[in-house]
Amino acid sequence: MSKVLLISTGGTITMVREDGNGALVPADMETFKAFIPELFAGNIHVDIQAFDPLIDSSDIRPESWRKMAKMVADHYDAYDGFVILHGTDTMSYSASALSFMLENLGKPVIFTGSQLPVGVLRSDAKENLLTAIEIAAEQDEEGNALVPEVCIYFEDKLFRANRTTKRNAEHFSAFNSYNYPALAKAGVHITYQPHLVHYSDPNAPLTLHTEFDTNVAILKLFPGIQPAVVKAILHTRGLRGVVLETFGAGNAPSDKWLYRELKAAVDRGIIIVNKTQCNTGSVEMGLYAVSLNLMKAGVLSGYDITTEALLTKMMLLLGEMPERAKELLGKDICGEMTID
Ligand code: ASP
């Protein structure tokens, strides 16, 4: 019998309406389990570990990522796969973070949640959870995991975690992976795409990275952005890294003051990475003249990475191996970006 560890952090999937104001709050795991007896009735053995208390994912912090990753690492040998229940709001951040924290992962770690609480009749909770459990347990004839990656399973698709973004606060298809195809689709059968899966070196042991440096910022450009705003961000005390959200293929206003501010920040040792504000497509610095200044200032290309993946990768590299952060931000570590 395959064994899966279900780690619950909270999120809508575990929530009930609070008496009085009617707002959704996480219930406890006993209440949750009572809604899904199927969890323990199939041919996969499921054990549960839960955050205490369960939380809304707006309250997720790097400490929470550390806790989740440690739960996986501590029980790594005892289970075939792991499912992490998580609120959808910051799921892409957490799942991206874990994809970088769990180096040489050889087993599935599948994040899921739901748009409606488990106790609501039309809830998407059961389908998401039960399919995620099945995917986490799935192996080939030799006993190797089919998808040994950190993933998000939602509605009917399995995505590489560090390629996802929450795109919808209303519909059941809450996530998308704009720049990389789904690793599996679930219909009557679950159809896997093995050629798209990232496999770690099977002989390398799982290595856990847990140190984050949160002295980072996201600077989103817009027409009319003022020097004072850019200066305030780039002169933030202790700042070490910036996700620069640019236009189109990685373009920025050609104002001299912007170039000077960015160049001065890079010279002060701040790492700045160019991420397009578009969901689909890649940064291509040098394609337009309006991106040449960024190149001259020493801004790195983030290619087609998501903001969630770039931010968590930056925080982890700055925390774990600052001397290599710049070099590794320009490289694809575990399938998070496509470098042509
Ligand atoms: N606010 C909830 C959370 O992220 C939303 C959800 O789970 O869908 O925890």
Question: What would the pLDDT profile of 152-187 be if each residue is shown by its tens digit?
Answer: 999 999 999 999 999 999 999 999 999 999 999 999
Cα distances from 243 to residues 92, 99, 197, 269, in angstroms, run 16, 19, 27, 14
Q: Is the pLDDT of residue 19 over 90?
A: no
Domain boundary residue, one of 208, 232, 250:
208
Which of the 8 DSSP states describes residue 247? B
Q: How far is 212 from 236, CA to CA, in rounded Å?
A: 18
Residue 22 domain boundaries: 2-208
Q: Are residues 202 and 222 in the same domain?
A: no
- Counting the structural domains of the chain, the total is 2
Q: Are residues 265 and 153 in the same domain?
A: no
- Ligand 1 mean position to 91 CA, how many Å? 9
Q: Are residues 132 and 27 in the same domain?
A: yes
Provide the H-helix boundaries in the chain.
29-35, 62-74, 91-101, 125-137, 227-234, 256-267, 292-297, 307-320, 325-329
What pLDDT, on the 0 to 100 scale, is given for residue 103?
A: 98
Q: Is the pLDDT of residue 340 over 90?
A: no
Mean pLDDT of the chain: 97
Query: In the structure encoding, which two tokens stand for residue 95, read together?
Result: 């799942």
User: Each residue of 283-319: pLDDT tens digit?
Assistant: 999 999 899 999 999 999 999 999 999 999 999 999 9
What pLDDT, on the 0 to 100 scale, is given for residue 28?
A: 87
C-alpha atoms less than 13 angstroms from C-alpha of 326 in its C-beta half-sphere: 10
Does any domain span residue 338?
Answer: no
What pLDDT, on the 0 to 100 scale, is given for residue 194?
A: 97
Does any domain span residue 339?
Answer: no
Query: In the structure encoding, which two tokens stand for residue 102, read together?
Result: 């769990």
Q: Which of the four pLDDT bands, split at 50, 70 and 90, describes residue 70?
A: very high
User: Each residue of 40-55: pLDDT tens digit?
Assistant: 988 999 999 999 999 9
Burial of 54 per CB tally in 10 Å (0-12, 13-18, 19+): buried
Q: Is the pLDDT of residue 18 over 90?
A: no
Locate tokens 């170039």: which residue? Answer: 259
Does any domain span residue 88?
Answer: yes
Q: Are residues 199 and 249 in the same domain?
A: no
Mutate to test the pocket of ligand 1, among 8, 86, 89, 116 (most ligand atoms within 8 A of CB): 89
What pLDDT, on the 0 to 100 scale, is given for residue 47?
A: 96
User: Each residue of 187-223: pLDDT tens digit?
Assistant: 999 999 999 999 999 899 999 999 999 999 999 999 9
User: Each residue of 97-118: pLDDT tens digit?
Assistant: 999 999 999 999 999 999 999 9
pTM of the model: 0.97
Mutate to test the pocket of ligand 1, among 8, 14, 57, 128 (most ligand atoms within 8 A of CB): 57
Q: What average pLDDT does the segment 126-144 reach?
A: 96
